[in-house]
Structure 1
Amino acid sequence: MTPSPKSFRVKSFGCQMNVYDGERMAELLGAEGMVAAAEGADADLVVLNTCHIREKAADRAYSDVGRLRRADGSKPIIALAGCVAQAEGEEAKRRSKMIDLVVGPQAYHRLPEMVAEVVGGKRPVDTDMPAISKFDVLPVRQRSGPSAFLTVQEGCDKFCTYCVVPSTRGAEVSRPAGDIVTEARALVDGGAREITLLGQNVNAWANETQGLDGLIRTLAGIEGLERIRYTTSHPTDMTDALIAAHADVPKLMPYLHLPVQSGSDRILKAMNRSHSVASYFATIDKVRAARPDIAISGDFIVGFPGETEENFADTLRIVDAVRYAAAYSFKYSPRPGTPAATMSDQVPAAVMDERLQRLQARLAEHSTAFNRATVGKATTILIDRRGRLPGQMIGKTPWLQSVFVETNAKIGDMIEVITVSALPNSLGGVLATAKAA
């Protein structure tokens, strides 16, 4: 019989929602009396919280499983969780005898129960998709860093032709507002000063009486909560009311992640994206009219089936027009079961590589320009971690830029700085008081 685990480690891969889920699984296991294994120490239970967005994600997950075998031939209890677990199900146990349990992202509230089944000699699998029942049984949030994630919406009804989210996360479902407010208050009581609301299509969150804008206004009333963010947004769900919240709610930070994926209407149609280039530009114009200093970030897919050089040039044009402060860009990755995987005119890998390099170079130009434009300005940063150098701390500006500064401030403090240097992904700063002196 397998001994009951006393220590655990959760390794999360991929998106911010996976990070949130990983934190919640750790809280579940902690509530059962287990402790997180120290850095470098063996854990009795390892949870691999996987992502299925990129090609060969399942293969990489099984490689991670194999690396958990110890030098003496023993291994921890291994839980395969997340979207690869959802996609693979029972097949995961057949592909690797080392995997002891398989749990999907909508069933991880059963993790302690499933671990107990493993101790009893079983190899359970749960990839059911109930309507967010997991949130009803997850423990109350106890501790938090200065910045915390809070899932408010899960699933997707958009069915982009390249995406597996509808099959791994299910249909769009919004958590009740009261539950979200309760969790937000617990996070603030536990030390959070900034909360990022999460969802596959977070701006699709709604109940009978309000949309995401109303939820943000409610959360802004929580004493001690200083900053609110949300991600990831879909262009189609950017309502006028949500845009107005960027002008009206001081705690809502001037940063919007709004993926466009391509600058070509022909490719957007093939992707089954429900927006056009023109409608995307119209949304950006409205957002900037409401909050002129807002930073826009985006997502791009290069080499979608059928993408021509002209289509790619359209993407470069939208990059130049929007002037993204930050962006994530990827080569198209065929996912099993998605319509795009069987489309003709797959773009050769070498062409995708070359286009991605050009795109990333152009994006870096704009992110660097955005950062340089802030040099010499005063701003408030929220300290969230230590830097590499003695006395150095790192904090985030309202525009989600990382600023390195020498200070005695502690993690969780909000301090005034003046930026003095800029790189593509970070800024150097000095204390505003030091600059004044």
Structure 2
Amino acid sequence: MIDLQLLDKKHDESRQGEALVLDAPTGNASRKLYIESYGCQMNFADSEIVASILLDQGFETTGDYKEADAIFINTCSIRENAEQRVRNRLSQFGVEKRRNPKLIVGVLGCMAERLKSKFLEEEKLVDVVVGPDAYRDLPQLISQVEDGQKAINVLLSREETYADIAPVRLNGNGITAFISIMRGCDNMCSFCVVPFTRGRERSRDPFSILAEAQDLHDKGYKEVTLLGQNVDSYKWKGGDESETAAVAVNFAQLLEKVALISPELRVRFSTSHPKDITDEVLYTIAKYDNICNNIHLPVQSGSTRMLELMNRTYTKEWYMNRVDAIRRIIPGCAISTDIIAGFCTETEEDHQETLAMMDYVDYDFAFTFSYSERPGTLAARKLPDDIPEEVKKRRLTEILLRQQESSYKRLQENVGKTIRILVEGKSKKSDADYCGRNDQNAMIVFPATAEIQPGQYVNVYIERCTSATLLGKIAD
């Protein structure tokens, strides 16, 4: 018997989770900074950029907001629920601000960009509102607040990539790290607010990306994840390091350059777009053992009619062709996805086509959502949000159940096998166990031993699995 309430809770947490508290000492400093991040991996990476900028201003990070001089919350606008969680959290911070009027409370990221100055009016306890492209302005904005003013900068940029800023690796394990390779998005999906909150797409120069990856490797990191709203559209053209020639780099070439840093440095990436992922990228993944066989390929819907309304610019047949190419070129590659239930005008036939697509692909994992209208998007302006909530919930539950079956089936294929994993640390449930991920990004839990340390590659014999985790022991 499946607990649907628990299943729905896990579905919600899979995208939002608990706020990540960035807590790592950064040296002797006169002021303390507390940051929480919500939403996508890009937000977590951006928080590390913010910490780096404010480190130069004498801020040391803390894990206790009650001792902070400045509190920033890095926000997500992808769903209404995400924004409500931020508002609830700000109310909690407000109690501390009333106790300490000098406390600076700021909102960063997508929600700040969407609401702009309205945020200062709606949330009276907020002092600073800063969009994703304006983090360099934070020292000046903080100075304005200290002079008794409210401060805001939500200007979007066509050039900003923060390529010259070394992120402060916070709350990390010293083993895995994010590297942002591009910012913004040019794909105007009708349901999505990202192009309006993160601006136009621009790629970071490959020299700074490779330098950051090399530095992480030199410091002992074992895995990097290349981040972008649509990594497959990465493209950079400019002079080489000596500016003696023009060079052009696409994503497949960048992926290869990062993989060549060291065979012991695992490389992941997120997110791909079905319209842009090429065979060149797939053959590059197949060529290098240290590029993980795991592709996140959002489908959103299995219905071509729905995909057209979503402005996804591909058909279900195109998507299936890309899945077939992945299966052919990278046998055993894990595929995860995003799915929206109850988008505008979705019929029962459309919904059944989504379930059929899930059966066709047999996804290893899926982030699933019921449609939430976001102000300012094309769908909010032109399409009716006409699917009743009870229908959305029922369809989402069916998608969740189908995915749970698929996830269990895919993990079950590993039982009885010995697989190589990167140990990340202690299991969340027990200090007596270690956990780590395999090439396909599945989580493996096994008994800890004195001989094994986080950051090591080990072979684990898989004895059994749940629908979310592989369980095993160190192989003889």
Q: TM-score, normalised by structure 1?
A: 0.94
Question: Among 407, 420, 423, which residue is 2:463 paired with?
Answer: 420
Answer yes or no: is 1:347 the counterpart of 2:387. yes
Q: Which amino acid aligns with 2:328?
A: A
In structure 1, distance between residues paired with 2:97 and 2:203: 47
In structure 1, distance between residues paired with 2:206 and 2:31: 36
In structure 2, distance between residues paired with 1:203 and 1:48: 29
Answer yes or no: is 1:31 the counterpart of 2:56. yes
Please say if residues 163 and 205 of structure 2, whose CA atoms lie closer than 8 Å, have aligned partners that are also in contact: no
Alignment of 1:190-229 (within 5 A): 190-208=219-237, 209-223=248-262, 225-229=264-268
Output one character per residue of 1:46-84: Cα deviation in whole Å (capped at 9) or x when no partner.
Answer: 110000000254444333212112368324311100100
Question: Among 146, 163, 171, which residue is 1:119 paired with?
Answer: 146
Q: Offset of 1:315 from its aligned partner?
A: 0.3
Q: Offset of 1:300 from its aligned partner?
A: 0.2
Q: Offset of 1:381 from its aligned partner?
A: 1.2
Decide which moves more: 73-82 or 264-273.
73-82
Please say if residues 120 and 126 of structure 2, whose CA atoms lie closer than 8 Å, have aligned partners that are also in contact: yes
> For the structure 1 residues 215 and 59, does the alpha-carbon distance in structure 2 shift closer, same or farther, using more than 3 Å as the test?
same
1:333 alignment partner, SS class: coil
Output one character per residue of 1:200-228: Cα deviation in whole Å (capped at 9) or x when no partner.
Answer: 11111012323111001111121375211
**Counterpart position of 1:281:** 320
Q: Offset of 1:357 from its aligned partner?
A: 0.4
Q: RMSD across aligned C-alpha pairs, in angstroms?
A: 1.9
**Counterpart position of 1:139:** 166
Specify every segment of 5 or more residues in structure 2 that has no aligned partner in the other structure, as ranges. Answer: 1-28, 238-247
For these two proteins, the number of residue pairs brought into alignment is: 430
Output one character per residue of 1:98-148: Cα deviation in whole Å (capped at 9) or x when no partner.
Answer: 111110111112223322322222221111122343514523656862111
Decide which moves more: 107-116 or 168-177.
107-116
**Counterpart position of 1:157:** 186
In structure 1, distance between residues paired with 2:151 and 2:110: 17
> For the structure 1 residues 317 and 5, does the alpha-carbon distance in structure 2 shift closer, same or farther, using more than 3 Å as the test?
farther
Question: Among 405, 408, 420, which residue is 1:365 paired with?
Answer: 405
**Counterpart position of 2:420:** 380
> For the structure 1 residues 224 and 193, does the alpha-carbon distance in structure 2 shift closer, same or farther, using more than 3 Å as the test?
farther
Please say if residues 39 and 82 of structure 2, whose CA atoms lie closer than 8 Å, have aligned partners that are also in contact: no
Q: Which amino acid aligns with 1:338?
A: T
Answer yes or no: is 1:391 the counterpart of 2:416. no
Q: Offset of 1:40 from its aligned partner?
A: 6.9
In structure 2, distance between residues paired with 1:222 and 1:366: 35
Q: Which amino acid aligns with 2:397?
A: Q
Please say if residues 107 and 134 of structure 1, whose CA atoms lie closer than 8 Å, have aligned partners that are also in contact: no
Sequence identity (%): 33
Q: Offset of 1:235 from its aligned partner?
A: 0.3
Q: Which amino acid aligns with 1:120?
A: D
In structure 2, distance between residues paired with 1:72 and 1:79: 12
Decide which moves more: 336-345 or 120-129.
336-345
Decide which moves more: 71-80 or 214-223.
71-80
Alignment of 1:28-427 (within 5 A): 28-39=53-64, 41-55=66-80, 57-70=82-95, 73-75=98-100, 76-133=103-160, 135-139=162-166, 145-208=174-237, 209-223=248-262, 225-342=264-381, 343-344=383-384, 346-387=386-427, 388-407=429-448, 408=450, 409-427=452-470
In structure 1, distance between residues paired with 2:396 and 2:356: 14
Q: Which amino acid aligns with 2:143?
A: A
Q: Offset of 1:5 from its aligned partner?
A: 7.0
Q: Which amino acid aligns with 2:69?
A: D
1:301 alignment partner, SS class: strand
> For the structure 1 residues 32 and 315, does the alpha-carbon distance in structure 2 shift closer, same or farther, using more than 3 Å as the test?
same
In structure 2, distance between residues paired with 1:333 and 1:171: 23
Decide which moves more: 370-379 or 31-40.
31-40
2:149 alignment partner, SS class: coil
> For the structure 1 residues 277 and 71, does the alpha-carbon distance in structure 2 shift closer, same or farther, using more than 3 Å as the test?
closer
Q: Which amino acid aligns with 2:132?
A: P
Output one character per residue of 1:34-54: Cα deviation in whole Å (capped at 9) or x when no partner.
Answer: 222244753221110000000
Decide which moves more: 138-147 or 59-68.
138-147
